[in-house]
Amino acid sequence: MKIIQAATKEQMSKLAANILIDCVKNKPDAVLGLATGGTPEETYRMFRQNVKEKRVELSRMRTFNLDEYEGLGPNHPMSYHAYMKQHLFDPLQLRPSQCFLPKGDALNLEEEAQQYEELIQKYGGIDLQLLGIGENGHIAFNEPGTPFTSRTHVVELTPNTRDINSRFFDKKEQVPYRAITMGLATIMEARKILLLANGERKQKAMTRFIEGEIAEDAPASILRKHRDVTIIADPPALTGINPDKITEVY
Ligand code: F6R
């Protein structure tokens, strides 16, 4: 596992955007796994900028997002689909046929989860998976206790996750109770993983992930068994990490 310490969130985002760009340049038909939330917003901005400046060809790239809230369709402003349209799909004029998210408004969520899992396999799996980490150590919406063997599934969000994510909604009551998420085994099959974390709020989860036991109460800890993981984080998020484990500093 490579742990890169970036001086600021801006630096972290710049390094992350470069990794995403390199992936698509080296493999124009790459399948990118994407995350939403506050952490990658700047990465997406820099990715868009790089694509334009370097004239990177994206017509053959495919994207698969990690998760979506129950009941929220692509036109709901708080859906992850709307987030992706705003930050990536629309500005880069990506075709709907190349961008996939679980359908939160599907009539049968369990069936949708299974179909989404099959779709990922159909496109040959994920080349590079971008991840954030929750304050409770979740990756995607795999909350603590999720089996490491999990595939794309329907999940009950913890009160803590609903609380934290309520900052994106007008009122806490609007935060859905359930979501569809890629599973931990699905994420582990990505050929390369890039996890970003910034800020003191992530320090506890990062310490548990990197320094603690590999156990299901710390979903991210399974990543330590993956052979190609890069973590880019700022100093506050890495405060609890043994400095010997930090491989590069920017
Ligand atoms: C988002 C996702 C989540 C977030 C995590 C951190 O698609 O799957 O696991 O990455 O909750 O969120 P932020 O970046 O808002 O702190």
Closest CA to 193 of 232, 238, 150: 232
- The residue nearest atom 10 of ligand 1, judged by CA position, is 132
* Catalytic position from the list 42, 112, 143, 234: 143
Q: Tell me the best of 36, 181, 187 to mutate to test the pocket of ligand 1, counting ligand atoms within 8 Å of each CB and taking the most.
A: 36
244 catalytically annotated:
no
Q: Which ligand 1 atom sits nearest the alpha carbon of residue 142?
A: 9
- The residue nearest atom 2 of ligand 1, judged by CA position, is 140
Is the distance from CB of 206 to CB of 133 less than 8 angstroms? yes
Separation CA 130–CA 40 (nearest Å): 9
Question: What tokens were used for 118?
Answer: 């099959």
Give residue 124's pLDDT: 97
Q: Are strands 153-156 and 178-181 parallel, antiparallel or unpaired?
A: antiparallel
Cα 236 to middle of ligand 1, angstroms: 17
Residue 23: its H or E element: helix 9-26
Q: Which ligand 1 atom sits nearest the alpha carbon of residue 80?
A: 7
Instruction: Write the burial class of residue 217 (CB in 10 Å: 0-12 exposed, 13-18 middle, 19+ buried).
Output: middle
Helix (H/G/I), strand (E/B), else coil: 183: coil
143 catalytically annotated:
yes
Separation CA 20–CA 3 (nearest Å): 17
Question: Taking the CB of residue 180, how many other CB atoms lie within 10 A of it?
Answer: 27
Task: Enumerate residues lining ligand 1, CB below 6 A.
Answer: 35-39, 66-67, 132-134, 138-141
160 catalytically annotated:
no
Cα 250 to middle of ligand 1, angstroms: 24
List 155's β-bridge partners, or say none.
179
Give residue 9's pLDDT: 98
Give residue 140's pLDDT: 98
Give residue 136's pLDDT: 95
Count the residues in the chain. 250
Is the distance from CB of 13 to CB of 106 less than 8 angstroms? no
Cα 24 to middle of ligand 1, angstroms: 23
Give residue 145's pLDDT: 97
The CA–CA distances, whole Å, from 191 to 126, 179, 233 equal: 6, 25, 21
* Catalytic position from the list 18, 22, 136, 216: 136
Separation CA 246–CA 248 (nearest Å): 6
* Catalytic position from the list 42, 138, 142, 165: 138
The CA–CA distances, whole Å, from 72 to 66, 86, 220 equal: 15, 16, 26
Give residue 187's pLDDT: 98
87 catalytically annotated:
no
Separation CA 84–CA 72 (nearest Å): 13
pLDDT one digit per residue (tens) for the chain, 250 residues: 999 999 999 999 999 999 999 999 999 999 999 999 999 999 999 999 999 999 999 999 999 999 999 999 999 999 999 999 999 999 999 999 999 999 999 999 999 999 999 999 999 999 999 999 999 999 999 999 999 999 999 999 999 999 999 999 999 999 999 999 999 999 999 999 999 999 999 999 999 999 999 999 999 999 999 999 999 999 999 999 999 999 999 9
Give residue 64's pLDDT: 98
* Catalytic position from the list 42, 50, 65, 67: 67
